[in-house]
Amino acid sequence: MKYLTLSIATVLLLSGCQSILNQTESNTPETNAENQALIDVASAAEINQALLMDEAIDVIHPIADGNIDLGNDVQESYLSNDVWQRIRSKLELTIPENSRVASQRAWFIKHPSYLNRVAKRAEPFLFYIVEALEANDIPVEIALLPIVESAFDPFAYSHGRASGMWQFVPGTGKRFGMKQNWWYDGRRDVVASTQGAIKYLKYLHKFFDGDWMLALAAYNSGEGRVQRAVRSNKKKNRPTDFWSLDLPKETRAYVPKLLALADIVKRSDEFKIKLHKIDNSAVISQVDIGSQLDLAKAAQLAQLSLTELQRLNPGFNRWATDPDGPHYLLLPNHKVAPFQEGLAKLAKKDRLAWQRYKIKNGDSLGKIAQKFNTEIALIQQVNNVKGNQIRAGKFLLIPVATASLDSYLLSQDQRLAKTQNKVLAGEKRVHIVKSGDTLWDISRAYKVSTRSIAKWNGMAPRDTIKPGQKLVIWQKASVKKLASNSQRPSEQAIMRNINYRVRKGDSFARIADKFNVSITDIERWNSLNRKKYLQPGQMLKLSVDVTNNI
């Protein structure tokens, strides 16, 4: 589903977990006599083999955890009659006792606080997911897959362009029914993405002749990649089960991680793991709203805070639901009645706020839509405007947000603003994208990596950029400025000498961009010539500023 990379700063800060990472490939962890960090950065295997912690996997969680009043009183115990017991009683996938599963299980057992945090995120949605899987004859263990994919965070996104609880990239999301536009992204909608994941999993299960292990592997790396591995083993007269295939490291760890979680649920009493109690009953309901509705107005009717409403309905990008649907909201059960009662009394014209706008010379529908944070098509629809021609002096009726835009804390614009407003080491620059700009050109101009620019601006390195778009860039503070502030360079730049193992597909340019160093430096540090090809497995010495590689 996604291809992720581990940031150098994360690895260095969490180097104490390195022995876990190495266990997947070998029972003997590699050592380094010079006490340097040994890092394989080019794939996400290291991340996904251990799930070091939320902040250590290259899935971004832009929104802090928060509680939603679901109207229930919870108490914890090792075993209880809740949704975990329901899952426990219906497990059907075989869990082998091998080193790949054991290493994943050991990490989870060692970090119960992680499981507790993830379970609290899952609480509003887990019962619904279990019911949906059972209705489609899919193993109930797959209800745990969002832990592997996103730590059960609907707002999570990755630099591989995957988004949502089930981590769909845009193309696969559309392929399996997840609508994506300016107003709405079905990949983050809990209902739409769960139904899409079910469709995709059923397709993969059929594609691999009923083998759930291969289907799960393909969910991670694609059916084509798994199919090629199966065919390769057949030609060599080797077994074609998941455990025998030559698959990417991330995928080799992906399925064992799910099985390890299932084993912990199954034997939570044996492992002394307290799973946060989640009722084996619906705590949220899908409520039909009929037509577009301002989210602030909806929250008021449901007697919820706006942030609580957005946490349950993360698919909506803006201040209102999509005018073309879906026309439903997820609400806590005990809030449904007051919401429906209030909605029934709400006049259609009061579902949104409206502003009468006089068209000025030089205005265009695009400028007006941008000014009022709305969409051209909606202005055209409301005002029965065909085409893009408008006349100065005429009036338009514009739908606008009920509350101030910064009140919609979890909207796409506010999430982006929060990301771009983070204070990092160095000097902050703002680049306004011009026609013809590429992310690569911008990265070279500012001497930073494309991956860093993407992370600072809540996007993926392969995302398209548009003229007028604002990009935040963080550069190293100049020596002159550091001196004037009586600061030592070491307070701004943290240098680490590392060993990097060359991976398949690596080149001098790719490695230089990844670590924000020059090709000349790589040549000098390793007595190499860029004209010669790098070989997979080859070790390179690098000197890296970790403050510029986060």
Q: What is the pLDDT of residues 170-201, one digit of tens each?
A: 999 999 999 998 889 999 999 999 999 999 99
- Based on the fold, state whether residues 341 and 259 are members of the same structural domain: no
pLDDT (mean) for 219-238? 95
Please indicate, yes or no, if residue 24 is contained in any of the structural domains: no
pLDDT at 321: 93
- Based on the fold, state whether residues 250 and 357 are members of the same structural domain: no
Catalytic site residue from 123, 149, 250, 308: 149
Q: Is the pLDDT of residue 5 over 50?
A: no
CATH number at residue 448: 3.10.350.10
* Residue 120 Cα distances to 153, 178, 256, 276, 324, angstroms: 10, 25, 23, 7, 32
Please indicate, yes or no, if residue 506 is contained in any of the structural domains: yes
The residue from 466, 484, 502 where one domain ends is 484
Q: What is the pLDDT of residues 290-331, one digit of tens each?
A: 999 999 999 999 999 888 999 999 999 888 999 889 999 999
- As for how many domains the chain has, the answer is 5
- Based on the fold, state whether residues 536 and 394 are members of the same structural domain: no
Segments forming the whole domain that contains residue 291: 284-349
- Based on the fold, state whether residues 295 and 191 are members of the same structural domain: no
- Distance separating alpha carbons of residues 220 and 247, to the nearest angstrom: 11
Please indicate, yes or no, if residue 414 is contained in any of the structural domains: no
Please indicate, yes or no, if residue 25 is contained in any of the structural domains: no
Half-sphere exposure of 8 (CA within 13 A, CB side): 27
- Distance separating alpha carbons of residues 173 and 168, to the nearest angstrom: 5
Of residues 393 and 496, the one with the higher pLDDT is 393
Annotation marks residue 149 as catalytic: yes
- Based on the fold, state whether residues 181 and 224 are members of the same structural domain: yes
pLDDT band at 404 (very low <50, low <70, confident <90, very high): low
- Based on the fold, state whether residues 479 and 532 are members of the same structural domain: no
- Based on the fold, state whether residues 310 and 245 are members of the same structural domain: no
pLDDT at 295: 92
- Distance separating alpha carbons of residues 76 and 305, to the nearest angstrom: 27
User: Does residue 352 sit in helix, strand or coil?
Assistant: coil
pLDDT at 345: 93
Percent of the chain with pLDDT over 90: 42
Average pLDDT over the chain, rounded to whole? 80
Q: Is the pLDDT of residue 58 over 80?
A: no
Report pTM: 0.65
55-59, 89-93, 100-104, 540-544 — which is least confidently predicted? 55-59
28-37, 167-176, 220-229, 467-476 — which is least confidently predicted? 28-37
Measuring CA to CA, which residue among 329, 282, 279, 281 is closest to residue 302?
Answer: 329
